[in-house]
Structure 1
Amino acid sequence: MKALALCLPLLLAACGDFEDGTRGPQPVPGTSADWRNYGEPDGMKVDVDVNSISHRDRAGSSDYTYVWMRQTFAEDQIDGESKGRYRIKYARQAIDCPSARMAGIAVSLRTLDGDEIARYDVPGYQWEFAAPEPDSYGADFVRQVCKIMADKAQNKE
């Protein structure tokens, strides 16, 4: 019992160091973002951060192309989980360009003032890739992002 009492403070102190040096999920692009209008379907405006199109992610494989998209809605939306109201949705996508399949890996819901209502991140082992319907808005999005990534990779050489 005495040994446990001596070890407990040591164990608790070590727990504080457990996450030192680790980084959290990929942040929503800040002032360095280069938002480009992608379209305005169904009461929302869709922008893509061209600077975020890359093979780099804090936790993901470099085999995928990653991109942040911003959807700005004309009317308040209600998050099903938190029940909060938001107008701006930031979504990070992982795209497997060879198969033209995409997975949503992070979402940040915000007010027009920029206050975050909710943030959801999906661990890599739970990513669910799906192919958008042929000739759809989503299929065009995947094609365009993969083309931009290919151009970036070619210009880097």
Structure 2
Amino acid sequence: MNSRVPTVKQTNWISLIPHFIIMGILIFIWYQFNPEKALLLGAMTYLIISFLLRNLIPRDHRKGIKKNNKGRFKDAISDFEKSYYFFKKHEWIDKYRFITLLSSSKFSYREIALGNIGFCYAQIGNGKKSKEYYEKTLEEFPESVLAKSALNMINAIENKSAQ
């Protein structure tokens, strides 16, 4: 069963500059060996590296997303927790993700993981835990629009049910 789970993706457009520089370097390297196919080989090398980095390093995050999309919210929580702790331990990977993972996302993996845990708890009916995780998201990422919106919705529901 494929659930219609909302996905929000925002791009940090300025982070594309290092991507083009990296691709340019790869094309230049390939130009030294094969000038006729340097553009194609450089672009293919960039795509392969990008694919490997995005699939190998944040693998727990990707597992959680897959489970989340299949509606297996309870199972996804542990994957998002593993992702959060990995990127907490290796903050530099997340901070410089536009180079280390060739990711142009505006959201850090830690912020996404915390928000996703909050979302999963809400989906399994644990509003208290959901609220805790959205509040934790705001503690670490005070500008998190996703966490602010989720907390506003939770608070509105709590206020309505209290009346």
TM-score by length of 2: 0.28
TM-score by length of 1: 0.29
Specify which structure has the higher proportion of strand. Answer: 1
Structure with the greater relative contact order (CA < 8 A, sep ≥ 6): 1 or 2?
A: 2
